[in-house]
Amino acid sequence: MSKRQATTFGVSFFTKKYKEKDGKLPIYARITVDGKRVDLSIKREVEKGNWDDGKGSVKGSKPEIKALKVHIEEIRRRLFECFDELFKDKRLITAEAIKNKYLYPDDTEYTLLKLFDYHNDQLAHTVEWGTLKNYFTTKKYLELFLKERFKTNDVFLTEVNYKFLVDLEYFIKVQQPLNESQKCGHNTTMKHMERFKKVLNIALKNEWLKKNPFANFRLSYKKVDRGFLTLEELAKIEEKVIQGNRLQKIRDLFVFGCYTGISYIDAMNLKLII
């Protein structure tokens, strides 16, 4: 029995104004199938004054603008090709399926760092930067690991196995840290491995990876006694003269949490009702 085919399909292009940097806007393609849509970064930027919101295209006669317009139309053409290929193969057509087909035109092209990029691109729309940056850090450790152990910039997903995970865990623990003065401890390493596992789950769900490398790999955390502040230490924090309103606010929220038991994030979300 053939799968249901899409009835409507469209591709448009737009910029994200809230991501403006130095007067430039990132360009995205929007894929819409039967009213459901996904966005795809085309990895290009445009000067704010050279973008036509109404037409969803660049404007101007400079050579670089003309080249960008050609690039956008090539992406549009390729996305329509992806739609046609899925239709001919009698595959279920969704906006996500077309995006995946565009990013990964052939199963043999599914690589580890491309998967990370795909995951981080999706996550960028749903989480705060504080969470997303942790995935970027995990990816950086992976890049270093691949260069040192495999002498390569990327590997196919099929090359990720149990030994790969064990070697990666050891590498993170002994590697010179990226941003800290001390090497990663056991629990920090486990957090990196946990994030890696979540990224690989995307490949498993999309059937880009047939076997789960984490099936026999155990994520284990050590209990840590975090200790506590004495009343004298807390008093010193309260009485500390701090320059800058932002740091003062953070200190006050911390002290408030110590006395009330309320979490920092909950305190941040409190609103004054008059």
Q: What is the per-residue pLDDT across 52-104, written as a single tens digit (0 to 9) for each?
A: 999 999 999 999 999 999 999 999 999 999 999 888 877 778 888 898 888 87
Distance CA 194, CA 135 (A): 10
Q: Does 88 lie in the same domain as 34?
A: yes
* Cα distance between the two ends of the chain: 63
Distance CA 191, CA 173 (A): 12
Q: What is the pLDDT of residue 92?
A: 74
| Domain membership flag for residue 226 | no
Q: Does 129 lie in the same domain as 207?
A: yes
**Cα dihedral sign for 95, 101, 103, 104?**
positive
Q: Does 125 lie in the same domain as 74?
A: no
Q: What is the pLDDT of residue 4?
A: 46
Over the stretch 119-135, which tens digit does the pLDDT of each residue have?
888 777 777 777 888 99
Q: Does 255 lie in the same domain as 212?
A: no
Number of separate domains in the chain: 3
Q: What is the pLDDT of residue 107?
A: 52
DSSP SS3 for 31:
strand
Q: How far is CA 180 from CA 133, 184, 195, 215, 266, in A?
A: 15, 8, 19, 31, 28
Q: Does 255 lie in the same domain as 236?
A: yes
Q: Which residues, given as ranges, of the chain have pLDDT below 70? A: 1-6, 106-109, 179-181, 225-226, 264, 268, 271-274
Q: Does 91 lie in the same domain as 16?
A: yes
| Domain membership flag for residue 247 | yes
Q: Does 50 lie in the same domain as 31?
A: yes
Q: Does 166 lie in the same domain as 132?
A: yes
| Structural domain span for residue 140 | 112-216
pTM (2 d.p.): 0.50
| Domain membership flag for residue 274 | no
| Domain membership flag for residue 4 | no
Q: Does 118 lie in the same domain as 97?
A: no
